[in-house]
Amino acid sequence: MASSAAATAATDRAALVKAFDETSTGVRGLVESGVSAVPDIFRHPDPYASVPLAPPGVSIPVVDLSLPAPLATEAAAGAARDWGFFYLVNHHALVPSGFTDGLLAAVRAFNELPAAERAAHYGRSVDSGVSYSSNVDLYRSGAASWRDTIQVVLGPSRPDAERIPAACRAEVVGWDAHATAVARAVMALLCEGLGLRGETLEEASCLEGKLMVCHYYPVCPEPERTMGIVPHTDPGVLTVLAQDGVGGLQVKHTNEDGESYWVDAKPVPGALVINVGDLLQIMSNDKYKSVEHRVVMNSHEEARVSSAIFYNPGKRGDSVFYGPLPDLISSGNPPKYRNFTMSEFLGAFFKRDLASKALIEHFKI
C-alpha cells in the first residue's frame, strides 16, 4: 500500500514538473503569474536546519592582486587550503571597471523580458552550446530550486554567438575573455603556492574547458521553504563568480576545532568570488580543498543575479589522464587519487547526486 502511494506521488510530481517546464517561462513566470506560495515541486524539507550559521565576524578570506607577488601567492594558497573560497580584489588590470555590473545588468534584463520573448529561447537541449531553462536537474531532483539559468559552453569549442540571447550577448562574449584572464592569474598563484611553475595548470589545458552559467533567482514568496541552489561542490578546477549586491551565497567552513557552519559570502563591491573545484582538490592531492556551498533565498524585493564560469581541462582524449600532479607526488606524499580520463570524470559527475561529495570519493585510492 505504501509503495503504491509513493508511486502515485511520484507520478503526480512528474506531471507537475512537466507542466511547469512546458510553460517555457521558468520560475520568473511563476512570479509573473502572481503565486503567493511556493509550489510543491520547489519545496525542500527543512532546507536550512542541518548546519548552523557562522558566528558574527567570520568571513571568507580576501586575496589582493595588487600585493607583491609573493604575498598574493601566499594569500591565495592559504585561502585555497583552508577555505576553498576567497574574494579577489584589485583585478582592474584584467577586468575593465564596471564590466561585471554591466554583465549582471544584461543578464537581469534578459530574464525580465516579457514571458513570450524569454520562452522563445527556452529549452533543455545543450547541443547548440547555449540553453535557457529552469533547473538543469529538474526531472532528476527531489525538489526543484528557485532559479532560472542561461548556460553557455565557451570551450573547448565555442557556440555560434547568435544563439546567445541578444539582451546579454555582447556582455557574455566579453566576459569570457576577462574572466579567463582572471582564471589564468589565479591558477598561476595557486600553482606557485604548491611549489610548481605558474603555468602548470594552464599547460594541462585547465583554461580550455569553460562553461558559463548566468543564474537568475526571482523574488520568492516563501523564502524559508525552498533554495536557490542546494549544497554542492563544483566539479571542475576553478570557478570565477560575479554576483550582484543582493546576496545569498553561503560557504560551508570547518574551523580548526572541527566545527562546521555556513558563512555568508556577502557581496563586496568590485570583488569576484573564486573557489576551488573537485578536480583541483584531486590534482593538488588534497593540498587545496573543494568545499560545499549553497544559495539561500532571501526576503529582498529584488531578484538575485550571478554569473559563474567553471574551468576544466579541454584535452579529453582517451589517452589523456588526470589525477594528482606528478611533481607533488613523492614517497612521503603518495597519491590519494587514481588517474582517470575526462570522459570518466564527467560520466561520474553526471551520475552523482548534486548534493553529495561522491565525485571526489569515487576517485580516491
What band does 354 get if pLDDT is binned at 50, 70 and 90? very low
Q: What is the pTM of this model?
A: 0.95
Alpha-carbon distance 150 to 79, whole Å? 30
What band does 98 get if pLDDT is binned at 50, 70 and 90? very high
Superfamily of domain 64-363: B-lactam Antibiotic, Isopenicillin N Synthase; Chain (2.60.120.330)
Helix, strand and coil in the chain, % to nearest 5: 35, 20, 45
Beta strands 260-264 and 272-276: pairing type? unpaired
Q: pLDDT per residue over 301-341, tens digit each?
A: 899 999 999 999 999 888 999 999 999 999 999 999 999 99
Cell 603518495 found at: 334
- Bridge partner list, 75: none
Nearest to 138 by CA among 41, 258, 274, 71: 41
Cell 570551450 found at: 155
Collapsing DSSP states into helix, strand and coil, what is residue 329? coil
Q: pLDDT per residue over 112-139, tens digit each?
A: 999 999 999 999 998 999 999 999 999 9
